[in-house]
Structure 1
Amino acid sequence: MKKEQTISVIGMPMDLGQKRRGVDMGPSAMRYAGLIEELEKLGFNVRDYGDIAIDRPGSDDTQELRNIKEVIEASEKLQQQVTAIQEKDSFPLILGGDHSMSIGSIAGISKRYKNLGVIWYDAHPDMNTAETSPSGNIHGMPLAVNLGVGHPKLTTIGGYAPKLKPENVVIIGARDIDEGEREMIKRLGIKVFTMHEVDRLGMQRVMEDTITYLAEKTDGVHLSLDLDGLDPQEAPGVGTPVLGGLTYRESHLALEMLAEAELITSAEFVEVNPILDVKNHTADVAVALITSLLGKKLL
């Protein structure tokens, strides 16, 4: 992004896409870890729009998809705010919150682009549907929803669908893939760098291939980074940790390369859960990665 561009920070304190509480405090944890101050040190004009108001669900738990009514309402609010921010030519930086929030964020972001690309940096592809997910947790579905697959009330957030084309998506760091997700990935031809590819090729090659792949066909690229993409030893404060993940250094390299390529036009950092964390360490990691994405260098 350009140094003269304003960074607009939005908190999405939503924990409705899954059962485990605490991830709603993720935006506050990242702010407490010094996010705004670090961005200002880099020379950016930063506007913090605070947090989206999230309604708590009632006692009815009979829905096929957990808290779908509240997730829809929150997603609509987020897409409206993101749309307004982009109309000001500002860089949207959204803090989560569980990963179901990307239903709203990408609904707002994609309106500006004909061919939005997405880098999904995550241990999970998040491509389940009501039919393939026994839990009904919407935080395991947002990428499928943005591709136009899933409950119609979710896929049409913002009044249109789909938000993304399969050929404009790259998943990095996946290592926990359900059978239904595996089938959809193959059917749609999604480009995926699992941990097997990261180990085999190295992060430099993975990012070079990702940047080349997306730069050729997209007019904007959104980074959706789930902190559980990192190994739990590096980022313990996440709701769905999976062993064998990306290292802190690999992740810095990935985001430094994205900064050098000037590819990313919006970003979100999700699934920081302070209740499960150790001395706010995962929020500190998130802030360090955000600053790498936005141009911070060692020298």
Structure 2
Amino acid sequence: MSSPLLQFATCAVERKASAVLFGANTQGAGFSESARGKAAEAGERRHLFSGDFVREADNESPSLTEQLADGASLYDAGNLPLSGLSAEEQVARVRARFLELFQRGQRAVCLGGDHLIKYAAFSAVSAAFEDCGIVYLDAHPDCAQEERLYFGSILHHAWLLPHVSPERTSLLGLRQVNATERKGLWRWKPGIIHALEFCELGLPEVISKLKSQLGKVRRVFFSVDLDGLAPHEVPAVEAPYPGGPTLREVLVLLRALAERYELVGMDVSEFIPELDSVKLTALTTARLTKEFALLPSPRDRR
């Protein structure tokens, strides 16, 4: 049975699209200590792929973006074939797909999958751009200084890449850090916007602080671990933690970023469809995907 495509994405030719959506069911970054996302047996793969689940949920209740835009500029390329590949092979294939789209000047939107898609995306960013910042929406910093590449060390490895730096990275919505990750933060010193700052500073000041942390970059890649959002909007995630920003706050922030930077792409990870009985997490992800894909670039406003 073939995978569904997002009906909202009505561009019929990939090369004519301004944004390209693809799924990448990476599995190899390991699971958190939460039993929520663990397979019944070690090494067993989950039966449902979140990218397909998101598409199906949105297709059941189709809608335009909040600004009434349709998906004429968005192409859904389906899913990358990753079954049976090693973690290294998965990363290489996802990296190549991101890099292909970056080099063609198209906005890449990837639905995962686990944190391997993040390292693949950052590796492609490093190869394609010398002036790209990273906004990393996550409850956790994922910067443990470990040699193995897994969910807790993704940013540590990304910051070792030639053109991905902590000085141009902002950890957005941070609120759960363990002692090992704290050492990584002390070493790398990335920009941080804590979850409480959305309340303490207010959204306009958060946006200003975020732009200051990104520095003088032309481009931004947006990386999303869904547990970065408020858990009442995305309950079906690997490691939920209370107190994150809402989807509407993130969408306002993205619109502000799009006025200044070229948003080159986004990845979304850590969604567990088996836990999404009312499809709230799927619909939140679908809305974020559509709104992000159709954001204008600064050059569109000239």
TM-score w.r.t. the length of structure 1 is 0.79
The match for 1:11 among 23, 38, 42 is: 23
Q: Distance in 2 between matches of 1:75 and 1:291?
A: 25
* Corresponding residue for residue 94 of structure 2: 78
Change (3 A) 1:248 1:233: same
Change (3 A) 1:296 1:164: closer
* Corresponding residue for residue 283 of structure 2: 284
* Corresponding residue for residue 75 of structure 2: 47
Shift of 1:5: 5.5
Figure out how many residues of one structure are paired with residues of the other and give that number.
266
**Deviations along 1:70-99, whole A, 9 cap, x unmatched?**
221100011111112222221111111112
Change (3 A) 1:261 1:24: farther
CA contact (8 A) 1:106 1:163 kept: no
* Corresponding residue for residue 194 of structure 1: 194
2:131 is aligned with 1:144: no
Change (3 A) 1:101 1:43: closer
CA contact (8 A) 1:15 1:24 kept: no
* Corresponding residue for residue 121 of structure 1: 137
Shift of 1:236: 0.6
> Structure 2: where are the runs of 5+ without partners?
1-15, 32-37, 40-45, 297-302
What are the residue-to-residue correspondences of 1:167-206 with 2, within 5 Å? 167-206=167-206
**After alignment, is 37-46 or 188-197 more displaced?**
37-46
Change (3 A) 1:274 1:137: farther
**Deviations along 1:91-133, whole A, 9 cap, x unmatched?**
11111111221111121122121122000011011112437xx
- Give the RMSD, CA atoms, in angstroms: 2.8
* Corresponding residue for residue 154 of structure 1: none
CA contact (8 A) 2:17 2:75 kept: no
Change (3 A) 1:200 1:23: farther
2:52 is aligned with 1:28: yes
Shift of 1:23: 9.0
CA contact (8 A) 1:9 1:94 kept: yes
SS where residue 50 of structure 1 aligns? strand
* Corresponding residue for residue 3 of structure 2: none
Shift of 1:47: 2.5
* Corresponding residue for residue 221 of structure 1: 220
> Structure 1: where are the runs of 5+ without partners?
58-69, 149-160
Shift of 1:56: 4.2
**Deviations along 1:175-234, whole A, 9 cap, x unmatched?**
1112122122122221101123233112331122212442x4213110001111112211
Q: In the alignment, residue 157 of structure 2 is paired with which amino acid?
A: V
The structure whose residues are more often helix, as a share, is: 1
Shift of 1:247: 2.2
Q: Percent identity?
A: 24
Change (3 A) 1:23 1:176: farther
Change (3 A) 1:190 1:262: closer
2:252 is aligned with 1:253: yes
Q: In the alignment, residue 117 of structure 1 is paired with which amino acid?
A: G
